[in-house]
Each structure stands twice: as C-alpha cells, then as structure tokens.
Amino acid sequence: MDPRSDCIDFINPATGEKFGEVRMTTEEEVMLARREMAAAQSTWAAKPLRERARIVKQFQRVVIDAADELTAIVNQDHGKSRGDALHEIVMTVDKIHQYARLSPKWLGRRRIPPGLYFFRRYYTERVPYGVVGIIGPWNYPIDLMLPPIIAALLAGNTVVVKPSEVAAATGVKLEELFGRVPELAPFVRFVHGDGRVGAALVRSQPDLLFLTGSVKTGQIVARAAAENMTPFLYELGGKDPMLVLEDADIKAAAHWGVWGAFYTTGQACVSVERVYVHHKVYDAFVAAVLEETAQFSVGYSPDIDNPYRMGPLTFQRQCDIVNTHLHDAIDKGARVLMGGRQTGMFIEPTVLVDVDHTMKIMTEETFGPVLPIMKVFDDTHAIQMANHSDMGLSAYIWSRDLNHAKRVAEQVQVGVVNINDTMSHYPVSLLPFGGVKMSGNARTHGAGEVTQFTHTKSYAVGAPPHPLDPATMVRYPGHYRLGKAILGLFFGVTPQQRVEPVLDYLREDPTGQVVTRAAAGVGAASLVGLAAATLIRARK
Ligand code: NAD
C-alpha cells in the first residue's frame, strides 16, 4: 500500500458535503506506532492501578467537557442526531466511570486455596498483554472505541487504535481528546485509514487484537492473526430477533419494536432485525406497527433540538446492502406494507410481511431501517426461527407472563436476552454484553471488558518444602499407603472410601509391621487435623 498521498475524506451523509480529511497512516508509521507503544508499555504498567485510574478520570473529565464538540462531529460524520450522539457519550462515560472505579477490585490479586501444600501460598495476578491493537466500526464511533481503549489501558496495556474510515472525523477528534491529557497521551497511538491500515496493524503483531466489525472482516482478521498466533477478541454482527408471544402487550411490543428497528436508522448491532409473531396476535401487531411507523419522521438537522426520529444511512455501501435485501425479499414474495423508498441517503422506515428464511432479509445482517415480520404457529416455531441464524448477539421476548418469557428466553441462542423491551440492555454498563456463534467471542461491559485485556499469572510462594505438607510427604518414595490414605481422606466419595485407606495406613507401616494403637491415634488425629485445616483454608 502506498497511501502516503491517500486521504480519507470526511463526508456528511445527509448533505454530501466534504468537511475535512485525514491522511492515511502508512505501513511504516503503523509499525513505528506499535514499536513506540511496546517501548512505553512498561512505564504505564508500572504505575499503580489507582494512579492509572486517576489519569483515566482526567480523560473522563475531558470527554464530558468536549460533549458538544463530539456530538457536532458525530452528527456530521455519521448523520445521527446530536441527541443520539449525546446518548452515545452518556453510555461511554458511564462505562469509563465504572471501569475506573471498579478496576482495582477486578484486577486485584486473587488468593487460591493451597490444595495439599498447607505451608505455601498460591495466588493469581492479572497481567497486561502488552500492546493491544483496537480496530473499530463506524456505527457507534465513540462508544465502540473509547470503552475498550480505556479498559485496555486500565489493565496496564498500551494501545494502537484504528478507527473506522467511515467515521474518520470522529477518530481524529478522539485522538485529539487523548492529546488533552498529557499523562495519558504517550500510551495511546491512533492510526487512520481503511481496511489496508487495519491489515497493517494486524501485521504489526500487537500482543492482542480487539475488533468490532462485520463477520466478514472478523474472518479475514482471524486468518491473518492466526499467522502469528496473535490472540484475537471479536465483537461482530447481529441479526437480533424479536419474539412476540401470544400473551404479549401488543401495543408496547409494536411501539418498542419499531423504535428498536429504526433507532439510529437501524444501524446498531442490536437493532431489531426480524420479528416472529404468534399467529393469534399477528394481525393486531402488524396494525400497531404500521401506526407506530407512520409517526417515525425522517430528516437531518445539525442542531441540538432535532425534530426527526430517524436520519440518513451513513454511507453508500449500507444503502446498497439494504436495497439488495429488500429487492431479494420482494422477488421472493415479500410485501412492503410501508416505506421502502430512498431519497439521497435516506431510506424510509420500511415494514415487510410475508417473509421467510429463504430471504436475505431474514438471515443476513441488514443494518438498516427495515422491519420484516413473520407469522409463527407457536413458541417452538418462534424459537426455531430465532435460532436459525449464524449469529447470536441479543434477542427480545414479549409476554405479559414473565415466567413464560423466561422459559422461551432460555432456549434462544444469544449472548443477551431482553424481556419486554428492545436495546435497553446495551446501555447498562456493568451487564456483560457480547454474542455467541459468529457474533463474537469477546465480552464488553462490566468486569469482563477489563479483565479480557489481561492474562492470569499464577504464583506459588513459600519457604522450601515443609516436611509436614501431605503433598510433600508423598513426593518421597515409600509412601504409597500414606498417598492412598490422603486420596481417600480428602477426596473419598463414600464414608468407606474415606476411612478404609486411612485405617490401612494406620494398621501397617511401610515395612508391614503393626503400629501401636497410640501411634495410630496420633496419626489419625493429625490426618483429621490436616483435613480440617485444608477445608478451612479452602473456604477462605
Ligand atoms: P467492517 O467489518 O466493515 O469494519 C470494521 C473495521 O475493520 C473498520 O475499521 C475497517 O477499516 C477494519 N477493516 C476492514 N478490513 C480489514 C482488514 N482486512 N484487516 C483489518 N481491519 C480491517 O464493519 P463496519 O461496517 O465498520 O461496522 C459494522 C459492523 O460491526 C456490523 O456488522 C455490526 O453488527 C458490527 N458491530 C458489532 C458490534 C458488537 O458489539 N458485536 C457493535 C457494533 C457493530
């Protein structure tokens, strides 16, 4: 690649206007960034965790101060409203706040029960990987970038970040914000550009890679990472189903289902992408959905008081995917009940019926303002359809009976289930989030987002082996019966298994001579004492 002269243009999708550009980072510069972060990592990791948290809090202050700048950039870069951009900042800052507060607890030393080595101490510590490469998407260009960066930093890593080329202006702004915290800036590097720059970052062999993006990119990066066995965490696409059961609150399901499908123009990984409705409530649900959709106004405004419910799609490729899925569905017999037309980068909120799983709209991620609704016979049918997917990010279940909803929820193959709402699980900063199947192997939100940027290092510490350690005794030859006594006493499943080998051991010494009752008593008492001590220590 020779992107030295290549620039990424910043284009406002609503107006088509260019509002800036950034030069693509060259391969050599990516390699240099990785080397610099490797050199800086020990300095950052050497800071006590509370000090790292203090510095992160300074960054939190900067983000809050910059809220208006950020919403203005995201509004131009992505097309979402200033209000939706602010919502993204709130979610982000909530996570930064919790991670800085709770990381000392999550990352602290953990004591491990000593097993049969009574006189030694065992514990684990969380160790940073080193340099983490973070590659992000465009759809939530703040919330999908800053929390993993901050989590990786709190864990003691340095970071090389590649924001999406589709939201490149936001990436440049985030870089600038890190520059406003001099104590943090030396430990984060941004590289800018498209997939070629992402590929260069993968080739630079960071110690851990974290990608949020599409399944297709995930597969490409997984193959490239495998070349060097680079550990790889990924948060990929979703095809989130909504199940409307026979006893659902239809009005609420329609209201929040429509919101979940069209919020940020359907460009969220947890958007409602397909709906399965019990046949007895199907007609009522479709009617309610049409009523709700009719109220979903479409437009763009750069003002903070934006009157529109839905903005443009963010770039042409996304429009192409939506139209391909729509045409494929219509060709195969689907009916458009509302919407479907495109003007510029705006596609109307679209409601589709008579859909089935031969259509892309029900099986591939659409990532646009389309709500396809399918009638199902019963719960089993709904669950089968929901699980008929390569992806498994989240799912939405609607029922007035929470036990009923929970029974269905347990059978749906996803990382998160939300009962009687859509998308409200995502902003909860401590609720683990992530998918199964091709949707990903990473977890964001909560302790897992921070700890996944570490590996555990175990320690076994103490004075030289103590002769009274049961496990040390059996390291010497000639203690077969003692070994069996320990095996039975500590791990026996039945009373007989526990007692018999101990009695065997007490009856005979290794040379076969009978020991005295007194010695047997002392031996038994010490074994029971050791067992009790082990149990007590194990429970600590
Ligand atoms: P994308 O896969 O096109 O791009 C993601 C990032 O990968 C971009 O920065 C891109 O430049 C980079 N990239 C592309 N090719 C690369 C390569 N060969 N090597 C390294 N990097 C490369 O995804 P997108 O369109 O930016 O984002 C939308 C997708 O992200 C959707 O599928 C959405 O569901 C998913 N997503 C998932 C989550 C989640 O938490 N699971 C959250 C948001 C978005």
Instruction: Please answer whether residues 409 and 400 qualify as being in contact, where contact means their C-beta atoms are separated by less than 8 angstroms.
Output: no
Percent of the chain clearing pLDDT 70 (strictly above): 93
**Alpha carbon separation from 232 to 106, 199, 210, 220, 479 (Å, rounded):** 21, 13, 6, 12, 47
Q: What is the pLDDT of residues 62-104, one digit of tens each?
A: 999 999 999 999 999 999 999 999 999 999 999 999 999 999 9
Question: For residue 220, which atom of ligand 1 is closest to its CA?
Answer: 18
Measured distance CA(496)–CA(503) in Å, rounded:
10
Question: For residue 194, which atom of ligand 1 is closest to its CA?
Answer: 11
pLDDT at 1: 44
Could you tell me which residues come within 8 angstroms of residue 521 by beta carbon, excluding any fewer than 6 positions away? none
Pocket test for ligand 1, best of 6, 194, 217, 240 (most atoms within 8 A of CB): 217
Instruction: Please answer whether residues 442 and 208 qualify as being in contact, where contact means their C-beta atoms are separated by less than 8 angstroms.
Output: no
CA of 213 to the centre of ligand 1 (A): 2
Q: In terms of DSSP bridges, do strands 241-244 and 232-235 run parallel, antiparallel, or are they unpaired?
A: unpaired
CA of 137 to the centre of ligand 1 (A): 5
Confidence band (pLDDT; 50, 70, 90) for 515? very low
Mean pLDDT of 209-233: 98
* Residue ID of nearest Cα to ligand 1 atom 13: 195
Q: What is the pLDDT of residues 353-388, one digit of tens each?
A: 999 999 999 999 999 999 999 999 999 999 999 999
* Residue ID of nearest Cα to ligand 1 atom 23: 213
Instruction: Check whether 294 has a pLDDT greater than 70.
Output: yes
pTM, two decimals, is 0.94
Confidence band (pLDDT; 50, 70, 90) for 352? very high
- Sheet hosting strand 274-278, strand order edge to edge: 335-338, 350-353, 370-376, 274-278, 241-244, 394-398, 416-419
- Catalytic residue from among 88, 175, 269, 273: 269
DSSP H helical ranges for 195-348: 195-203, 215-227, 250-262, 282-294, 316-331
| Average pLDDT score over the chain | 94
Q: Is residue 135 lining ligand 1, measured as CB closer than 6 Å? A: yes
Active site residue 319: no
pLDDT at 508: 73
Q: In terms of DSSP bridges, do strands 391-392 and 436-437 run parallel, antiparallel, or are they unpaired?
A: antiparallel
Active site residue 175: no
Q: Token pair for residue 409?
A: 């929820």
pLDDT at 527: 61
Q: Is residue 220 lining ligand 1, measured as CB closer than 6 Å? A: yes
The angle that helices 495-507 and 517-539 make with each other, rounded to 10 degrees, is 140
Q: In terms of DSSP bridges, do strands 454-461 and 121-128 run parallel, antiparallel, or are they unpaired?
A: antiparallel
* Residue ID of nearest Cα to ligand 1 atom 28: 213
The angle that helices 379-387 and 402-411 make with each other, rounded to 10 degrees, is 40
